[in-house]
């Protein structure tokens, strides 16, 4: 087990806590929330697994200077610190029990520099807002598939979504960042400035500082062919859809969920609560090329076909991520390499696993390859460049007492589907030492520790998939 050097604990009296927070209260006013505030519960709510966590305070910052002040307070008072950039979280590290949560969501400016081809997103911007701002100019940066994800969180962990096979991961399009370090110093990290920090930010998450601005490469993306398709689940159908990803053009991507159908009007009532195949798809090439890809998928016989020519921004409209306040578990891993897709035996196991779930659950399958695989694994801290697919197994319980059954199902299904070993840090519901080793190959982890020792030797930024300064 790694020994994590963590700031002081929470045995602070209310009086001492008030005194410690006084500089932050003076700077933020009513944007420093404590549990007695009317808006505290909603502000602190995230989608997490396990017992609820209650911070001592949430600091809703609007400027880089306020971030510097908040870090000084946490550091000087020995308060555990967590940083959150968005509204869509799976792991518990978005909060910290009895400590200070640095909430960046009011730091939400976006600038689109069309001449330079760069989008500048401040630390609290959500993917939907950035995508809409860039889309007004026929441009985009590829993120995932959900509007409520924080640009900061997804950009620092990886970013696998609709454009990844064509343009690379989000980390491959991160050109630079403004970062507030543990000692309060504000630095720029890019290819020319602090290049070791720049390398670590692209996959190493929030281990090294608070990112208050991200500079992201913009690509031309206007009208795409995309939307939702749904089928009744059979092994042959699922294997065919996955093979279409593996063998299709790099402009074609998305994800497939093997899931229990939710009780929504667009899905026939007789299917509610039963397994379905639901795909969110995007083809960013010509309409003629898209028709060749989607024709065979339509020939499988769809329950729902919402694929059409739409603005790319439309893929980020509609319902957001999982509801705040739920409890859940997720495990993630990678399968295959190159032009490969799971066959019917694996597909049958995925359908069988979901059919045996006792609550909301899904096997989420995302194609990789293409531009993702052409990046040197050593070029960024996201090193898993060869897999053909990423697979996540997740379950949700809306009541804590249902969590044990959900966790047991996730473990069983993940084992049956070979979801083990290497993992994707943004899709891990826990943040154990083993999770960290799964997220980063040995050489990558060793290099990350070197950067950690240089920029955060006291491990102030420990509430994450923590790369401790020393193993």
The yes-or-no verdict on residue 4 having pLDDT over 50 is no
Query: Which is higher by pLDDT, 204 or 420?
Result: 204
**Torsion (CA) 455, 461, 466, 471 in degrees, nearest 10:** 50
The yes-or-no verdict on residue 302 having pLDDT over 70 is yes
Measured CA angle at 239 (ends 406, 307), to 5 deg:
90
Distance between terminal CA atoms of the chain?
A: 8
Most confident of 91-105, 314-328, 443-457: 443-457
CATH 3.30.43.10-classified regions of the chain: 14-103
DSSP state of 401: G
The yes-or-no verdict on residue 455 having pLDDT over 70 is yes
Query: Which is higher by pLDDT, 188 or 96?
Result: 188
H-helix or E-strand spanning residue 329: strand 327-335
Q: What is the pLDDT of residues 303-328, one digit of tens each?
A: 999 999 999 999 998 655 555 556 77
Cα separation, 322 vs 338, in Å, equals: 32
- CB within 8 Å of 44: residues ≥ 6 apart: 33, 54, 55, 58, 95, 101
pLDDT at res. 319: 59
Query: Which is higher by pLDDT, 405 or 216?
Result: 216
**Predicted TM-score of the model (pTM):** 0.93
Q: Is 321 left (phi over 0), alpha (psi -120 to 50) or beta?
A: beta
Q: Which CATH class is domain 14-103?
A: alpha beta
pLDDT at res. 282: 98
CATH 3.30.465.10-classified regions of the chain: 110-220+436-455
Please provide the CATH number assigned to the domain covering 110-220+436-455. Answer: 3.30.465.10
The yes-or-no verdict on residue 435 having pLDDT over 70 is yes
Count, in order, helices (H) and strands (E) of the chain. 13, 19
**CATH 3.40.462.20 describes domain 223-431:** yes
Share of the chain above pLDDT 70, in %: 93
């Amino acid at each position: 087990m790694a020994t994590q050097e963590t700031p002081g604990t929470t045995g602070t009296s209310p009086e001492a806590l008030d005194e410690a927070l006084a500089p932050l209260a003076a700077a933020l006013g009513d944007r420093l929330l404590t549990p007695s505030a009317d808006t505290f519960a909603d502000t602190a709510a995230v989608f997490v697994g396990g017992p609820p966590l209650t911070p001592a305070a949430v600091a809703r910052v609007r400027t880089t200077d306020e971030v510097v002040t908040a870090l000084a307070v946490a550091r000087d008072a020995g308060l555990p610190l967590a940083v959150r950039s968005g509204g869509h979280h799976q792991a518990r590290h978005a909060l910290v029990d009895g400590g200070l949560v640095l909430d960046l969501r009011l730091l939400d400016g976006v600038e689109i520099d069309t001449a330079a081809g760069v989008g500048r997103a401040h630390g609290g911007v959500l993917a939907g807002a950035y995508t809409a701002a860039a889309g007004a100019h026929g441009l985009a940066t590829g993120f995932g598939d959900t509007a409520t994800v924080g640009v900061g969180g997804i950009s620092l962990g990886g970013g696998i979504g609709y454009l990844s096979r064509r343009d690379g991961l989000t980390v491959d399009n991160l050109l630079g960042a403004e970062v507030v370090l543990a000692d309060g110093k504000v630095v720029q990290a890019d290819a020319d400035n602090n290049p070791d920090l720049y390398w670590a930010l692209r996959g190493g998450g929030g281990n090294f500082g608070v990112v208050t601005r991200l500079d992201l490469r913009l690509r031309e993306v206007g009208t795409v062919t995309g939307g939702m398709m749904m089928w009744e689940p059979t092994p042959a159908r699922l294997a065919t859809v996955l093979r279409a990803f593996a063998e299709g053009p790099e402009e074609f991507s998305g994800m497939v969920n093997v899931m229990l159908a939710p009780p929504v009007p667009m899905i026939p009532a007789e299917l509610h609560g039963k397994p379905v195949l639901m795909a969110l798809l995007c083809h960013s090439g010509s309409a003629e090329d898209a028709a060749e890809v989607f024709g065979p998928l339509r020939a499988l016989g769809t329950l729902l076909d919402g694929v059409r020519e739409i603005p790319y921004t439309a893929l980020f409209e509609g319902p957001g991520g999982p509801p705040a306040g739920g409890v859940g578990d997720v495990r993630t891993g990678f399968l295959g390499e190159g032009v490969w897709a799971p066959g019917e035996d694996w597909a049958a196991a995925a359908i069988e696993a979901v059919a045996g779930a006792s609550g909301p659950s899904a096997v989420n399958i995302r194609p990789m390859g293409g531009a993702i695989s052409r990046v040197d694994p050593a070029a960024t801290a996201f090193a898993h460049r060869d897999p053909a697919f990423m697979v996540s197994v997740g379950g949700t319980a809306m009541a804590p007492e249902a969590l044990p059954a959900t966790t047991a199902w996730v473990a069983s299904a993940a084992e049956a589907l070979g979801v083990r070993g290497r993992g994707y840090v943004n899709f891990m519901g826990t943040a154990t030492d083993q999770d960290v080793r799964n997220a980063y190959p040995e050489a990558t982890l060793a290099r990350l520790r070197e950067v950690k020792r240089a920029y955060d030797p006291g491990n102030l930024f420990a509430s994450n998939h923590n790369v401790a300064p020393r193993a």
